[in-house]
Structure 1
Amino acid sequence: MAELAKIEQTPAPVMSETAALISMIERAAVNPSVDVEKFARLLDLRERAEASFARKAFNSAVALAKSAIGPIVKDKAVDFTTQKGRTNYRYEGFDTIARAVDPILNANGLSYRFRAAQDGNKVAVTCVLAHRDGYSEETTLSVCEDHSGNKNAIQAIGSAATYLQRYTLKLALGLAASLDDDAQAFNHDGWVNEEQLQELRQLIVSVDADLPKFLRYFRVETLDKLPSAKFEGAVKMLKAKGARSDG
């Protein structure tokens, strides 16, 4: 009897403002006294209410998912030497990211897909992060084809697209990447790392900089051989060029 009394005293769940509004509109829809014009306004109001509800559900799901996803470990390595010198860095593969995030996203009603486009030598990838209630957001990045390491034309496109898939998904979820225990063994030559390299590539494209002139200024043959000590100066110079162009 005590348990029954406890159940009877438990207040009914409070209906959210959005749910209450949708319920009111549904009742009006079956009311023959509601005129067409008013009903049209009610439908528009319902659509906006549902969109607001879906957006809030999306934001809540992303927050829950992000709190459960740990840093992504850079568990893969690139290390090769060509006539231009040595290239070595660590990165997290897309399969590594997917294994870390997919189960958590699925549990929170989230999914993702990609769209790709190409304009000249620029590759653009859009990550569409969607929630089961219908709301979605898009994150787009673009870079030039990646011709480092003597890649052929197809490999250059594929490398850029794969890179953009990884980073648009990480940006969409607000994820960080952490180096593994062996990371300090790499990049002994003091060149820019992979993330710095990609940031420079994006800036060069966005401000329409003259790459050969940029390389001559810093006295390097390729962008990946820019000394890491000169990275901040290079970024400032490119951003200043962009500011002048906008002005």
Structure 2
Amino acid sequence: MSTAVETFEPAKPGSITRMEGRVVVTPLEMLDRATAQNAPVEILERLMALHERYEANRARQAFDAALASAKAEIPVILKNRTVDFTSQKGRTNYRHEDLAEIARTIDPILAKHGLSYRFRTKTEGGTATVTCIVSHRDGHSEENTLSAGHDNSGNKNSIQAVGSAITYLQRYTLKASLGLSASDDDDGKTTEPEVKVISHEQAEEIRDLIGKTSSNIDVFLKALKVESVADIPAKEYFRVIGMFTEKMKRVPQP
């Protein structure tokens, strides 16, 4: 019994699809016929499972098509915020796009293609975890999760430290989920931000993931344009962790 669909064209439930001169009966149509013929329960259960897989596959294809169309329309997002402060570790100076600017840019385009997103957050100990869930109106959704310690930079109190970390992770999980890019505004400023690298603990975490995923470290470092793991810019940390997290999902479990 084949349910292969050569080209995706959303069909109404229970409809009959025509492909290359052939009539392809959907699993729901087959289930209706089996029910009308008083088929055994075992046959009905198998057809119901087939129908569920068929619908899940259709929903995934619709999600992929909608996301591709949306990404083709989403422009480069403007970095509209500046962070500039000095601590015991030195001066921190960089520009970034806040969550409101990202939402203002992408929300109308995502809605046009039946896409939406939401966040699930969790704090445990000194760690905040944020999961971005991107969903399509046909039912398929995909998730991207990142974790980080509370943001104790500046003069933040404990609540602000948690909120800052969550907002930061919301931006990065959303950008990672949609493959977004950002660009500085053209305000004529020529000051280059100080390049900060990852911490020793973060470098050890990345080395561990390289080993667990059997990744080629030379290819990895060349892609990031750095000479060693310790030279990875701090701003790339979450993107790298997200990349290895996805790769870990494909590693066969013992």
Superposition TM-score, scaled by structure 2 size: 0.68
Q: Does residue 124 in structure 1 map to residue 120 in structure 2?
A: no
Residue 64 (1) aligns with residue 69 (2) = yes
Gaps spanning 5+ residues in structure 2: where? 1-15, 209-225, 241-254
8 A contact 1:118–1:124 mirrored in 2: yes
Conserved? CA contact 2:135–2:141, under 8 Å: yes
Two-structure CA RMSD over aligned residues (Å): 3.2
Q: Distance in 1 between matches of 2:96 and 2:180?
A: 14
8 Å Cα contact 2:35-2:44 kept in structure 1:
no
Deviations 1:31-86 (A, max 9, x none): 23322110110001000000000011001111010111011111111223456543
Q: Which has the higher helix share?
A: 1
1:112 to 101, 111, 117: 117
| Counterpart check, 1:38 vs 2:43 | yes
Q: 1:124 to 1:184 in 2, by over 3 A?
A: farther
User: What percent identity do the matched residue pairs reach?
Assistant: 46
Q: Which residue of the partner structure matches residue 10 of structure 1?
A: none
Q: 1:139 aligns with which of 144, 147, 169?
A: 144
Deviation at 1:26, TM superposition (A): 4.2
* CA distance in structure 1 between the partners assigned to 2:93 and 2:186 by the alignment: 16
Pairwise CA distance, 1:152: 1.7
Within-5 A mapping of 1:16-35? 20-35=25-40
What is the alpha-carbon distance in structure 2 between the residues aligned to residue 44 and residue 128 of structure 1? 25
Among 179, 195, 198, which residue is 1:191 paired with?
Answer: 195
3-state SS, counterpart of residue 34 of structure 1: coil
Letter in 2 for 1:191: V
Please, which of 137, 159, 163 is the counterpart of residue 158 of structure 1? 163
Q: CA–CA distance in 2 between the matches of 1:23 and 1:176?
A: 42
Q: Which residue pairs with 2:202 in the alignment?
A: 203
What is the CA–CA distance in structure 2 between the aligned matches of 1:27 and 1:201, rounded to whole Å?
62
User: How many residue pairs get matched?
Assistant: 200
Q: State which of 178, 186, 202 in structure 1 corresponds to 2:183.
A: 178
Corresponding residue for 1:3? none
TM-score by length of 1: 0.70
Map Cα deviations across residues 108-137 of structure 1 (whole Å, 9 max, x no partner). 111100001122211110000001111100
If you compute each CA radius of gyration, which structure gives the higher value, 1 or 2? 1
Aligned counterparts of 2:207 and 2:159: Cα–Cα separation in 1: 24
